[in-house]
Amino acid sequence: MAKIELNAEELERAAIILKAVSHPVRISILNALEEGGKLTVTEIHKILGVEQSTASHHLGIMRDKGVLISRREGKNIYYSLRDENLKNLLYCIGGCKK
């Protein structure tokens, strides 16, 4: 793989993203969103088998850090990945099984 040059601003943004997703529930949420495109907190909590408040808490952290975007449609708020490149992060995580 070719070496990627990153400036200080890009490194700071990368650190913020990595901190924001550095929890098993958050990685699971990213994976669910990668597969489902856009999901509500209710759909996410059912998919992951966690309390709705837990899913909401982790969604809020990732939204606040710019990892996810949210959009209201009627009574529902749908969450999705802000950047499709986050799928590459999931791919890398999947390769770290050892």
Contact 2, 43 (CB under 8 A): no
pLDDT of 98 reads: 59
> In angstroms, rounded to a whole number, what is the distance separating the alpha carbons of residues 59 and 98?
28
pLDDT value at 82 more than 70: yes
Q: What CATH number did the domain enclosing 14 receive?
A: 1.10.10.10
**Which residue range is the domain that position 50 belongs to?**
9-94
> In angstroms, rounded to a whole number, what is the distance separating the alpha carbons of residues 96 and 90?
10
pLDDT of 1 reads: 62
Angle at 53 between CA 50 and CA 54, to 5 degrees: 50
Sheet with 39-40, side-by-side order of all strands: 39-40, 76-81, 68-73
Q: Does residue 4 form part of some domain?
A: no
Q: Does residue 90 form part of some domain?
A: yes
Q: Does residue 71 form part of some domain?
A: yes
> In angstroms, rounded to a whole number, what is the distance separating the alpha carbons of residues 6 and 23?
25
Q: What is the total count of domains within the chain? A: 1
Q: What is the pLDDT of residues 19-34, one digit of tens each?
A: 998 899 999 999 999 8
Q: Does residue 1 form part of some domain?
A: no
Strands (E), 10-96: 39-40, 68-73, 76-81
> In angstroms, rounded to a whole number, what is the distance separating the alpha carbons of residues 60 and 58?
5
Q: What is the mean pLDDT of the chain?
A: 89
Q: Does residue 20 form part of some domain?
A: yes
Q: Does residue 24 form part of some domain?
A: yes
pLDDT of 57 reads: 97
Most confident of 11-15, 16-20, 32-36, 71-75: 71-75
